[in-house]
Amino acid sequence: MNLKIAVLSGDGIGPEVTKESVKVLKAVAEVYGHTFEFQEALVGAIAIYEKENPLPEETLALCKSSDAVLFGAIGDPKYDNNPDAKVRPEQGLLKLRKELGLFANIRPITAYDSLLEKSPLKKEIIQGTDMVIYRELTGGIYFGEKKLNEDKTIASDLCEYSQIEIERIAHLAFKAAQVRRKKVTLVDKANVLETSRLWRRVVTALSKQYPDVTLDFLFVDNAAMQMILNPSQFDVILTENMFGDIISDEGSVIGGSIGLLASASVGDGTALFEPIHGSYPQATGKNIANPIASILSAAMLLGHFGLNEEAKRIQEAVDRTLKNNIVSVDINKENPSSTSLIGDVIAEMILVDDQSISS
Residues at the interface with ligand IPM (CB under 6 A):
74-75, 90, 93-94, 245, 276
**DSSP bridge partners of 236:** 132, 184
Distance of alpha carbon 89 from its chain centroid, rounded?
18
Of 10-18, 239-247, 262-270, 292-300, which segment contacts Mn ion by CB under 5 A?
239-247
Q: How far apart are CA 152 and CA 134, in angstroms?
A: 35
Q: Is 240 in the site for Mn ion (CB under 5 A)?
A: no
The distance of closest approach from Cβ of residue 107 to ligand IPM in the complex, given in angstroms and rounded to an integer, is: 9
Q: Is 249 annotated as a binding residue?
A: yes
Find out whether 357 and 349 touch, Cβ atoms under 8 Å.
yes
Active site residue 189: yes
Q: How far is the CB of 118 from Mn ion (least distance, A)?
A: 21
With respect to ligand IPM, which residue has the nearer C-beta, 46 or 93?
A: 93
User: Catalytic: which of 11, 188, 245, 330?
Assistant: 245
Q: For Mn ion, which is the closer residue by CB, 56 or 108? A: 108
235 binds Mn ion (CB under 5 A): no
Closest residue to bound ligand IPM by CB: 90
Q: Which of 226, 202, 225 is nearest to 215 (CA)?
A: 202
Q: DSSP letter string over 26-73?
A: HHHHHHHT-EEEEEE---THHHHHHHS-SS-HHHHHHHHTSSEEEEEE
Q: Is 197 known to sit in a ligand binding site?
A: no
245 is catalytic: yes
CA torsion sign, 228 to 234 to 236 to 239? negative
Select which of 113, 216, 221, 268 is catalytic: 221
Q: In this structure, is the dihedral angle defined by the CA atoms of residues 309, 315, 321 and 326, taken in order, positive or negative?
A: positive
- 97 vs 320, beta carbon nearer ligand IPM: 97
* CB-side neighbour CA atoms (13 Å) of 201: 10
Q: Which of 20, 245, 310, 330 is close enough to bind Mn ion by CB under 5 A?
A: 245
Which residue's CB is nearer to Mn ion, number 45 or number 345?
45
Nearest distance in Å: CB 93, ligand IPM: 5
| CA atoms of 258 and 256, how far apart (whole Å) | 7
- The span from the first CA to the last CA of the chain, in angstroms, equals 32
- For Mn ion, the closer of residues 275 and 343 by Cβ is 275
Active-site annotation holder among 142, 161, 210, 280: 142
**From ligand IPM, Mn ion, none, interface partner of 307 (C-beta below 5 to 8 A by class):** none
3-state class (DSSP) for residue 136: strand
Please identify every residue annotated as catalytic: 142, 189, 221, 245, 249
Q: Which residues are annotated as a binding site?
A: 97, 107, 135, 221, 245, 249
Point out which residues bind Mn ion (CB under 5 A). Answer: 245
